[in-house]
């Protein structure tokens, strides 16, 4: 169960939810692929040395057993990097309910922003050209009398802003679209 779902109050309805865009996984994925390729290369070399092929292990400076251990360690590190990146992506939640805007970031340490819709002064979106094409951007939320809070690499930032604006209009007594 997500942070948002756990923190809904009675009578509150979840209307829109988003998180970090998948593009934040490109860095961990790239690093994992490089380390994975190194691990496979070491494993291949260890198998070649064991099967009496070229003496690849002596070229690297370790025996086939050492290469096998190094390959497994490198592959585990590659997997850990990708899983950490995925967990970090999923640790950011942004939601709009019929009463509030809820934002949570962080895994071990947590940063939350729960803002009543009537207290939302403005919500801005910054998108680069790449962000517009791929559907990510920075969301800037400002509560009345507060400092702006920036949340980067958020998926579908325009839809998030639209959901906040629609609900803020309804909360203020305005007529919907």
Question: What average pLDDT values come out for the chain (177 residues) when binned by 10 residues?
Answer: 90 94 96 96 84 63 82 96 94 94 92 90 94 95 88 95 86 51
How confident is the model at residue 54, as a pLDDT?
A: 61
Angstrom distance (rounded) from CA 103 to CA 112: 6
């Amino acid at each position: 169960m997500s942070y948002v779902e756990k923190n809904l109050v009675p009578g509150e309805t979840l209307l829109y939810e988003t998180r970090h865009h998948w593009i934040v996984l490109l860095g961990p994925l790239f690093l994992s692929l490089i380390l994975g390729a190194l691990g496979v290369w070491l494993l291949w070399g260890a198998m070649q040395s064991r099967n009496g092929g070229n003496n690849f292990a002596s070229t690297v400076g370790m025996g086939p057993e050492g290469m096998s251990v190094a390959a497994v360690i490198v592959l585990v590190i590659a997997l850990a990097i990708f899983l950490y990146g995925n967990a970090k992506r999923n640790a950011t939640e942004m939601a709009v309910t019929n009463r509030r805007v809820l934002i949570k970031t962080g895994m071990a340490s947590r940063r939350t922003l729960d803002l009543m819709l009537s207290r939302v002064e403005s919500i801005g979106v910054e998108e680069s050209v790449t962000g517009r094409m791929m559907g990510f951007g920075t969301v800037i939320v400002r509560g009345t009398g507060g400092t702006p809070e920036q949340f980067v690499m958020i998926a579908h930032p325009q839809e998030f802003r639209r959901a906040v604006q629609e609900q803020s209009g309804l909360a203020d007594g305005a007529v919907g679209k």
